[in-house]
Amino acid sequence: MNIIFALLLLVGGLAILWKCAELLVAGAVGLAKRLGISSLVIGLTVVAMGTSAPELAVSIAGVLEKTGEGGNIAVGNVFGSNIANLALVGGLVALIRPLMVKRQTLRREIPVMIIMELLLWPFLCNSHLGRPEAFALLVMFTALILITIHLAQKESKQNRNKQAELNRLAAENVNDTEVITRASGDGIKGGDGIKNVLFIVIGLIGLAVGAKMAVEGAVFIGTKIGLSVSVISLTIIAFGTSLPELVTCVVAAIKGHHDISVGNLIGSNIFNTLLVVGGAGIVLPFDIEQRFAGGVDYWIMIIVSVAFALAVILGKRIIGRISGTLLLCGYVGYLVYLFRFSG
């Protein structure tokens, strides 16, 4: 392999990842909307899972590489993506339009995200992740998904009851334009079901192909310019796999869909922490460097998560442009640290 071919692999792989993640999200959201689930739940689950698919694919591809660096690629990708999601993507979105966070998200989802990241330390502190530990992470992930589904079903039932009441009032010719308009139904439509399923299938296949290309190209280029595999996974690969979150959140911010943005960011970090690390460990147990086993990069991820939570609290559930600028500056500072002191 030469540098030109490696560059083509990297750019082509990231392009495929980005486009196929968009297809996956579009298809999944289309199907999920048929259930009448709120945009926050969709952001926390369907959109988050779709935009976290590149991290999962890249991390699994990484551990399957016979270089001895698979664990560093997998975990470095997760840490780097989690940091990029909150500091880079969250900061940029807040600059475009102040990000409003629901009280329930501050009290429930954000603390869960931080707790899950903290619980990762006991699993990685010995610089090795075996299948039993990976299985435990997947069990926690499954439990969270089941709880979220239960809450979503409860919310959907409440929405159906509310819609039924609105329809009843409309049928009784209530002279209330707003009631009649809402009852007439702007019901959530998921579009063509077959088309959505096709998008999901194409997205999943494309993510696997793009992940393989991105890992090979990035590792080769980074090695040639003297970067360690750990730094490559924390920067080049992490940024590439965070592109779906970036594009989704920016579009949602421009359209004013705050719940999609917030749900996507928090949900993606939870998915990365549990599903991506656990999934990679189930495929193949791996070893990691000390920097990922409770070292500086791990604690930077925790600090960024806490800083994001503080920005929400201090802003009274609004992440404004000043907080967004501080988050972005923090991410730039992290990159300077990586390239200056960790390369």
| 302 DSSP β-pair partners | none
Rounded CA separation 298/294 (Å): 5
| Cα 47 from chain centroid (whole Å) | 8
Q: What is the pLDDT, as a whole number, of residue 184?
A: 43
- Residue bearing tokens 């920097």: 291
Q: Is 284 left (phi over 0), alpha (psi -120 to 50) or beta?
A: beta
Q: Confirm if 218 and 61 have CB atoms less than 8 A apart.
A: no
| Residue 82: pLDDT over 50 | yes
Scanning the chain, the segments in alpha helix (DSSP H) are 3-33, 39-42, 48-64, 70-83, 90-96, 103-104, 110-124, 131-171, 177-185, 193-224, 229-232, 238-254, 258-271, 277-283, 296-314, 321-341
15-22 mean pLDDT: 78
244-253 mean pLDDT: 77
Tokens (6 digits) for 101: 């966070």
Q: Confirm if 269 and 52 have CB atoms less than 8 A apart.
A: no
Sign of CA dihedral 33, 38, 39, 43: negative
More confident residue, 215 or 89: 89
Q: Confirm if 186 and 63 have CB atoms less than 8 A apart.
A: no
pTM over 0.85: no
164-182 mean pLDDT: 58
pLDDT band at 187 (very low <50, low <70, confident <90, very high): very low
Rounded CA separation 253/257 (Å): 6
Q: In this structure, what are the phi and psi dihedrals at residue 286, rounded to the nearest 5 degrees?
A: -145, 160
Q: How confident is the model over 260-317, as pLDDT tens digits?
A: 788 888 988 999 999 999 998 998 888 888 888 878 889 999 999 999 999 999 998 8
Rounded CA separation 25/33 (Å): 12
Q: What is the crossing angle of helices 193-224 and 48-64, to 10°?
A: 40
68-93 mean pLDDT: 87
Rounded CA separation 122/90 (Å): 28
Percentage of the chain modeled with pLDDT above 70: 85
Q: Does domain 3-341 have CATH number 1.20.1420.30?
A: yes
Scanning 225-320, the segments in alpha helix (DSSP H) are 229-232, 238-254, 258-271, 277-283, 296-314
Q: Confirm if 153 and 41 have CB atoms less than 8 A apart.
A: no
Tokens (6 digits) for 149: 């589904």
More confident residue, 219 or 115: 115
- Residue bearing tokens 């997205």: 203
Q: What is the pLDDT, as a whole number, of residue 324?
A: 92
| Residue 137: pLDDT over 90 | yes
59-65 mean pLDDT: 80
Instruction: Tell me which amino acid residue 269 is.
Output: N
**CB within 8 Å of 291: residues ≥ 6 apart:** 230, 297, 298, 342
Q: Is 100 left (phi over 0), alpha (psi -120 to 50) or beta?
A: beta
